[in-house]
Amino acid sequence: MSNGYGNGSTFTLIVVLFILLIIVGASFVY
Tens-digit pLDDT profile for residues 1-30: 455 555 667 888 999 999 999 999 999 887
Helix (H) or strand (E) run with residue 14 in it: helix 6-29
- Model pTM score: 0.57
**The predicted structure's pLDDT at residue 16:** 94
Whole-angstrom distance, CA of residue 12 vs CA of residue 3: 15
CA 17 from centre of chain: 3
**The predicted structure's pLDDT at residue 15:** 92
Whole-angstrom distance, CA of residue 14 vs CA of residue 25: 16
Residue 18's identity, in one-letter code, is F
CA angle (6 as vertex; 17, 22 as ends), nearest 5: 10
